[in-house]
Amino acid sequence: MKKKQWGGRFAGSTDALMERLGESVSFDSRLALWDIRASRAHARMLGARGIISPEDSRAILWGLDAIEKEVKAGNVAWDVSLEDVHTNIEAMLIARIGNAGKKLHTARSRNDQIATDVRLWLRDQIDDLLQKLFALRQALVSLAEQYFHVVLPGFTHLQHAQPVLFAHHMLAYYEMFTRDRDRLCEVRKRVNIMPLGSAALAGTPHPIDREMVARELGFDGISANSMDAVSDRDHLIEFCSACALIMTHLSRMAEELVLWSSQEFSFIEIGDAFTTGSSIMPQKKNPDAAELTRGRAAGVIGDLMTLLALVKGLPLTYNRDLQEDKPPLFHAADTTLLCVEVFARMLQTVTVNENAMKRALQQGFLEATDLADYLVSRGVAFREAHEIVGRVVRRCLELQVTLPDLPMEEYQKFSGAFGSDLYEYIRPEVMVARRDVPGGTAPKQVRRALNRVKRVLKQEAEKN
């Protein structure tokens, strides 16, 4: 059924297809509580400034309180013919309190209204995500402490490279997620600027008090330019960019967990709560939580690309295209929040197979670099040492032995600098301990790093 256009400009009705195309309440209704919150602050300001009467302001506040209760109870039937969440709430308000409800929209536009609602909502999502990242970083630190002395092969090109502490490996991901936290904190600063009062694009002739509204809503400041305020979506793009990086980091770790839990590696086992079986193969224990997170990273990266493409050709100021910013934003936030929380809990169920890691240390000639350094310590130039050890490795392949098992007489064929102390020199624990530089994998350095990050987490917890 066709309904009359909203506003007095139109004599005709909206086509049903246009109604379907134009409505946003099917997705922006999730902003209802934030819309009511912003409207409440706006109504108080209008009354305080004498723009509307104190009686009308009080009536509006009463009506908004009642609507908020209905929204929280899930008792609201959203009307798509009213297009969006703002107009739906305004219509409910007018139905409850009469003409006073029609005065709420004084000195504002849906353009600055939606910009404000989204910033309020996004600020809360960032705070929630920061808490979940905190839990994830804690889980990584706990896992690092639990298996502090475990040594495993470090990889480059997915080939055995050099031995490292398992704790050092976990703290590498801690650093990634800490950068993610820092990025979100930076984004939050730019999110927390209030656009309300910019109206449609040029500001308002009414004597409003923007600072009063900003204080009530907890904003750090007000927007400096009304045209930019209603058309700016940089903060959404920045947030989705931060989410895409978080999901990329989760995906990288997911890939390692998938590999490590395979029978070929058997480095770890993920708890039953975060794995699934097969519909046909009863022996299977699939790392589905990790795989699904890896897969969902693609969607969040797509959300970022959607927003960039959405705004790239828009002239100032508001254009209806910007209505389409919310589905990718909501998806990116929902997906990232879920996956970070899943990972934090999944890591608590991970057990490490130290014996499998020890066996893996015996493969791939992880001692080769240290063997070259051994020769350097005895006066051999590094490039020459590199060449010698390469030939030693080739000899091991011919004999089908490892470097620790190669007899000394074989070593002596390649260089007289080799001595019997090399076998101690290339033990995994000794090789790890020698990386005693800041940021290195030596136990002393990793313990210092663990103590540092635990202090950081404690300080963050105290602030919150």
Q: Per-residue confidence at 7, pLDDT binned at 50, 70, 90?
A: low
Mean pLDDT of 436-447: 98
Burial class, 255, CB count within 10 angstroms (exposed 0-12 / middle 13-18 / buried 19+): middle
In this structure, the number of other CB atoms found within 10 A of the CB of residue 52 comes to 21
Reported as half-sphere exposure (CB side, CA atoms, 13 A), residue 237 has a value of: 13
* Residue pLDDT, tens place only, 56-80: 999 999 999 999 999 999 999 999 9
> What local confidence, expressed as pLDDT, does residue 19 receive?
85
Angle 37-194-119 (CA atoms, 0-180°, nearest 5)?
65
Query: Residue 113 above 60 pLDDT?
Result: yes
For residue 300, the one-letter residue type is V
Mean pLDDT of 243-264: 98
291 and 187: one domain? yes
- What share of the chain has pLDDT > 70, as a percent? 98
Pairing of strands 3-4, 13-14: antiparallel
Burial of 390-413, coded b for 16+ CB within 10 Å and e otherwise, reads eebbebbeeeeebbeebeeeebee
> What local confidence, expressed as pLDDT, does residue 11 receive?
67
Answer yes or no: are the C-beta atoms of 322 and 120 closer than 8 Å: no
* Residue pLDDT, tens place only, 208-246: 999 999 999 999 999 999 999 999 999 999 999 999 999
Q: Would residue 188 count as lying in a domain?
A: yes
453 and 311: one domain? no
Query: Residue 317 above 60 pLDDT?
Result: yes
Q: Which of 356, 379, 399 is the last residue of a domain?
A: 356
Query: Residue 2 above 60 pLDDT?
Result: no
172 and 97: one domain? no
Query: Residue 106 above 90 pLDDT?
Result: yes
- What share of the chain has pLDDT > 90, as a percent? 93
* Residue pLDDT, tens place only, 20-43: 898 999 999 999 999 999 999 999
Answer yes or no: are the C-beta atoms of 353 and 266 closer than 8 Å: yes
184 and 200: one domain? yes
Q: Per-residue confidence at 280, pLDDT binned at 50, 70, 90?
A: confident
> What local confidence, expressed as pLDDT, does residue 10 receive?
67
* Residue pLDDT, tens place only, 123-173: 999 999 999 999 999 999 999 999 999 999 999 999 999 999 999 999 999
Q: How far apart are CA 44 and CA 213, in angstroms?
A: 8
CATH number of the domain at 40, please: 1.10.275.10
Answer yes or no: are the C-beta atoms of 43 and 60 closer than 8 Å: yes
Query: Residue 440 above 80 pLDDT?
Result: yes
266 and 137: one domain? yes
Q: Which of 26, 262, 278, 377 does the annotation list as catalytic?
A: 278
62 and 118: one domain? no
Mean pLDDT of 252-272: 97
Cα-Cα end-to-end distance for the chain: 52
282 and 179: one domain? yes
Q: Would residue 412 count as lying in a domain?
A: yes
Q: DSSP letters of 64-112?
A: HHHHHHHHHHT-----GGG-SHHHHHHHHHHHHHGGGGGGTTTT--HHH
Whether residue 278 lies in the annotated active site: yes
Query: Residue 4 above 60 pLDDT?
Result: no
Distances (CA, A) of 119 to 232, 297, 312, 350: 11, 24, 21, 37
**Domain membership of residue 55 as a residue range:** 15-106
Query: Residue 1 above 80 pLDDT?
Result: no
> What local confidence, expressed as pLDDT, does residue 277 receive?
85
> What local confidence, expressed as pLDDT, does residue 5 receive?
55
* Residue pLDDT, tens place only, 170-197: 999 999 999 999 999 999 999 999 999 9
Whether residue 157 lies in the annotated active site: yes
Q: How far apart are CA 84 and CA 79, in angstroms?
A: 8
Q: How far apart are CA 251 and CA 439, in angstroms?
A: 24
Q: Which of 24, 157, 198, 420 does the annotation list as catalytic?
A: 157
Return the closest-CA partner of residue 239 out of 316, 159, 376, 126.
126
118 and 257: one domain? yes
* Residue pLDDT, tens place only, 361-416: 999 999 999 999 999 999 999 999 999 999 999 999 999 999 999 999 999 999 99
Q: Per-residue confidence at 278, pLDDT binned at 50, 70, 90?
A: confident
Q: Would residue 152 count as lying in a domain?
A: no
CA dihedral 214, 218, 221, 223 (to 10 degrees): -60
